[in-house]
């Protein structure tokens, strides 16, 4: 496995994870405060985030790395 390719994938995953965590925390706060409009908006934002994830544009060899490290259940579609 190419180390630079692996590092780039890890950086992409870290970036995606950070963005998703921020949205999930906001969504959790909306739910606990019973803010229905914000809940719907943040849920849509989360769905959009996963649809737009860079992982969805990966070539087959990058996807194989994602699968090998067990991240395929957590990133992308």
Q: What is the pLDDT of residue 50?
A: 83
Residue 56 neighbours by CB under 8 Å, 6+ apart:
76, 77
Q: What is the pLDDT of residue 47?
A: 87
Q: What is the pLDDT along the chain (77 residues), one digit of tens a residue?
A: 689 999 999 999 998 888 889 889 999 999 999 998 999 999 998 888 888 888 889 999 999 999 999 988 887 65
Other CB atoms within a 10 A radius of the CB of residue 26 amount to 16
Residue 67 to residue 33: CA distance in whole angstroms: 37
49 contacts 19 by C-beta, under 8 angstroms: yes
Predicted TM-score (pTM) of the model is 0.70
């Amino acid at each position: 496995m190419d180390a630079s390719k692996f590092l780039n994938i890890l950086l992409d995953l870290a970036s995606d994870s950070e963005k998703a965590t921020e949205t999930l925390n906001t969504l959790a706060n909306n739910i606990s405060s019973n803010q229905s409009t914000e809940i719907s908006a943040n849920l849509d934002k989360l769905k959009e985030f996963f649809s737009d994830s860079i992982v969805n544009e990966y070539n087959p060899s990058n996807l194989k790395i994602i699968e090998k490290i067990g991240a395929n259940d957590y990133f992308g579609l």
